[in-house]
Structure 1
Amino acid sequence: MTGVELIAAISAVSTQGVTPQAVTPQTITQDPPQAGAPGFAELMQTGLANLEAKVDTADDLVRAFALGEDVPIHEVTIALEEARLSVELALQVRNRMVEAYRDIMNTQL
């Protein structure tokens, strides 16, 4: 799952108007996780690996262009923009996660 797909999934959940439900043992056991479905930690690791790959690619292209190698400027520009957007996406995901954590921590029981 790419970072864009991850943000789309998060925003879709947040805009669907989900109604809160009481958590009971029955609701927890009704929908077990699918065996082939990746977990949250795996999704985050994959997203961060993709982010790092895009930043490294942009860095390599900029370095090659600065050294005078035969690298088209449009490829450098596209790689830099993809890296910038990926970093911005990662920051938005982090901000949403921190906000959700704070909401949970401030919930009165």
Structure 2
Amino acid sequence: MDIRTVSPSSPSSSAGPLRRAAATAQRDNVEDEGFYTAFKNALQSVSSAQNHSTNLQREVQLENPNVSLEETMVAMQKAQIAFQASLHVRNRMVQAYTDIMNMQV
């Protein structure tokens, strides 16, 4: 008795070209959404770090005894580093776009 299992994620050899094309398109969609989602999440985390830093600064200015100056300074540095990193990524993406647009066909 010969029992073979076929993975549902990979198209089988008996599948038609339409099925293979659909599987390839689905995989490409996942890759596109993966970068988009990762970049969107990164920008949201930078934004939340900046908001957290701003809130801590406000609490220190209002002399809230539960918020320390050290904690606020660390949050500010984290937000600044995250913003600088996102700025560098943006600059690299713009440079890559410019390089592609300047390519001769």
Paired residue total: 79
Match of 1:79 in 2: 75
For residue 39 of structure 1, give the secondary structure of its aligned residue in structure 2. Answer: helix
In structure 1, give the amino acid aligned to 2:97: Y
Question: Higher relative CO (CA 8 A, sep ≥ 6), structure 1 or 2?
Answer: 1
Runs of 4+ deviating beyond 4 Å: 32-38
1:36 offset after TM fit, Å?
8.6
1:105 lines up with 2:87 in the alignment = no
Counterpart selection for 2:62 from 61, 67, 84 = 67
In structure 1, give the amino acid aligned to 2:80: R
1:44 offset after TM fit, Å?
1.2
Residues 34 and 105 (structure 1 numbering): CA distance in 2 closer, same or farther, change over 3 Å?
A: closer
In structure 2, give the amino acid aligned to 1:56: N
Q: Structure 1, unaligned stretches of length 5 or more?
A: 1-28
For residue 74 of structure 2, give the secondary structure of its aligned residue in structure 1. Answer: helix
What is the alpha-carbon root mean square deviation over aligned residues?
A: 2.0
* Deviation sequence 1:41-89 (CA, Å, 0-9, x none): 1111101110011000000000000000021111000000000001101
In structure 2, give the amino acid aligned to 1:108: Q
1:34 offset after TM fit, Å?
8.8
Match of 1:45 in 2: 40
Q: TM-score, normalised by structure 2?
A: 0.68
In structure 2, give the amino acid aligned to 1:42: T
In structure 1, give the amino acid aligned to 2:70: H
Residues 77 and 96 (structure 1 numbering): CA distance in 2 closer, same or farther, change over 3 Å?
A: same
Q: Structure 2, unaligned stretches of length 5 or more?
A: 1-23
Distance 2:87 2:77 in 1: 15
